[in-house]
Amino acid sequence: METGFRKWIIVVTIITSTIIELIDTTIVNVSINTMSGNLGASLEDTAWVITSYAIANVIIIPMTSFLAEKIGRKQYYIGSILLFTLASALCGFSHNLWELVAFRFFQGIGGGALLSTSQSILFETFPVKERATASGIFSLGIIIGPSIGPVMGGYIVDNLSWQWIFYVNIPIGLLAALLSYIYLKPTKRSADGRTIDWLGIFLLAIGVGSLQVVLERGETDDWFSAGYIIALTIITVISLSILIWWELRIKYPVINLRVLKSTTLSISAIMTFVLGFGLFSAVFVFPLYAQRIIGYSAFQTGTMLLPGTLMAAMISPFLGKMLQSGIRPQYLIILGFGLSAIFGFMMSGSNLETGGAYFFIPLIFRGLGAALLIVPLTALAVSELKPADIPQGAALNNMMRQMGGSFGIALINTYIAHRAANNRMSLITHVTASDPLTIARRQSFVNNFMAHGASYLRALQQSIGALENTVARQTFLLSYMDAFLLLAVLNACCIPLVIITIKKRAVVKTGKVEIPDAH
């Protein structure tokens, strides 16, 4: 536990480290086209820059508790920051695509360790009675990072070069490492003589890595039409099945799955998975919708997300205080899922004529919903764990959020593609040579093109292309509306799951949220 100036320096350092790690999960998305052109690679190959980072993140997150004990939490944390910073520099210096993909993987190894380790350090920095406040502060990074990534990426690509997406991490990372070295308390390595669970590490890397590749690349390569997707799916099932059996069997596992005996942690992990699904899917779908359908730039799209993000950041510490004062986390979670559902329902009602002002309210609801979910779920997940189990519980919970994001993006992307095929079939049946509205629309196009100097035959050809463009835009509009509606339904369906936890043993005692000591 820390007090005064030292305490808040640690808080700022931890939040900064969390934010830069999560920024890098989304900042590259808006730069893929530029990278592809500069590196002379296809868009499909360049997407591995995103995939490699996500794979490394999901592999390392559940191992952070084990590695922190073996190496010492302070040493492991500082080492992870330095690895993240060095890999960021090397990403910027890369001369070809596969160098960049390799360095992004190492960046993900360093960055993934920052999430759970940051949470554990925050819990140790605050006294037990202020742990809910610590959860609120930690949530700032989770909310801000993914949302401002596209804004920063769009601005940097428009005004500098894509390399600066990585270079900006260097001074921040070095400063965070220096402050961590000065202000974090030294921690000793585990001295219990435990052996390293090499088989568990191998199975985790193979199983989760394969699953992540399937999720990231499945839609691009038409899922099970690709032989390597089938092979990796089989490897995933076999590896993860053996991993679960092995980790429950040995005395010192790399992932202590026994903590999932806590029903509250198990249910929280499920809800955190849905939170990750909705949080990352919304940040994925809305920019695509705004840029491809409405016609906004990457930077304009990012700035539209900012008000909701800032609102969420403002209320997160207060939510921690509310939990600390005795409000049940489940009530805030229900409200969070409700607001997230409203966001989806409102977005599903927009159209091609919708202006930017319409999106302000639903995006505010998205930000508030995210805050109302992240803060209490972070507190609720570890509320019934023994002090020694908190780091592992936090790691598993963070992994579920990242996995939820991966599943969400993969499934939403696939859902949009399938709905696009169905919506196009529905629309095209009405676009016929005998349909009066189609005839009138085509003639309008013909008149317009002839007014701009085209011959009648040329104008007729152009009108057919214009009709096709209209159908395509309407097709994708309807598909994105379906995607937003799906997000709304998923969030609404989680509310009954939260109600189940209310019937469990109260986590509020004597008017305080009980979050065990992490020492």
Q: What is the pLDDT of residues 176-194, one digit of tens each?
A: 888 888 877 777 666 556 6
Q: Average pLDDT of 58-80?
A: 81
> What is the chain's percent helix, strand, coil content, to nearest 5?
80, 0, 20
Tell me the CATH number of domain 256-413+484-510, given options 3.40.50.1100, 3.40.50.10470, 1.10.10.10, 1.20.1250.20: 1.20.1250.20
Which tens digit of pLDDT belongs to each residue from 402-452? 778 777 777 887 788 788 888 888 878 777 777 787 777 777 877 877 877
Give one word for 513, left, alpha or beta, with left for phi > 0 and alpha for psi -120 to 50. beta
C-alpha distance across the termini of the chain, in Å: 9
CA 212/CA 218 separation, integer angstroms: 10
Which tens digit of pLDDT belongs to each residue from 493-508? 888 877 776 665 444 4
Angle between helices 263-288 and 298-325 (to 10 degrees): 160
Q: Taken in order 138, 60, 214, 233, is the CA torsion positive or negative? A: negative
Q: How much is the pLDDT for 128?
A: 66
Q: How much is the pLDDT for 159?
A: 79
CA 204/CA 282 separation, integer angstroms: 28
Q: Average pLDDT of 126-147?
A: 69
Please report, for the chain, the start and end positions of each structural domain, with discontinuous segments joined by +: 1-191, 195-251, 256-413+484-510
* CA atoms within 13 Å, Cβ hemisphere of 268: 32
Q: How much is the pLDDT for 189?
A: 66
Q: How much is the pLDDT for 5?
A: 67
Of 147 and 377, the one with more pLDDT: 377
Q: How much is the pLDDT for 86?
A: 93
* The domains spanning 1-191 and 256-413+484-510 adopt the same CATH topology: yes
Which residues lie closer than 8 Å to 114 by C-beta, 6 or more apart? 17, 18, 21, 77, 80, 81, 84
Paired tokens of 240? 């993860």
Query: Which of 140, 488, 499, 147 is closest to 337 using CA atoms?
Result: 488
Tell me the CATH number of domain 1-191, given options 1.20.1250.20, 3.30.160.20, 3.40.50.300, 3.40.50.1100: 1.20.1250.20
Residue 90 confidence class, pLDDT cut points 50, 70, 90: very high
Q: Average pLDDT of 130-153?
A: 71
- Whether the predicted pLDDT of 516 surpasses 50: no
Which tens digit of pLDDT belongs to each residue from 222-237? 777 788 888 988 998 9
Residue 342 confidence class, pLDDT cut points 50, 70, 90: very high
AA letter at 237: V
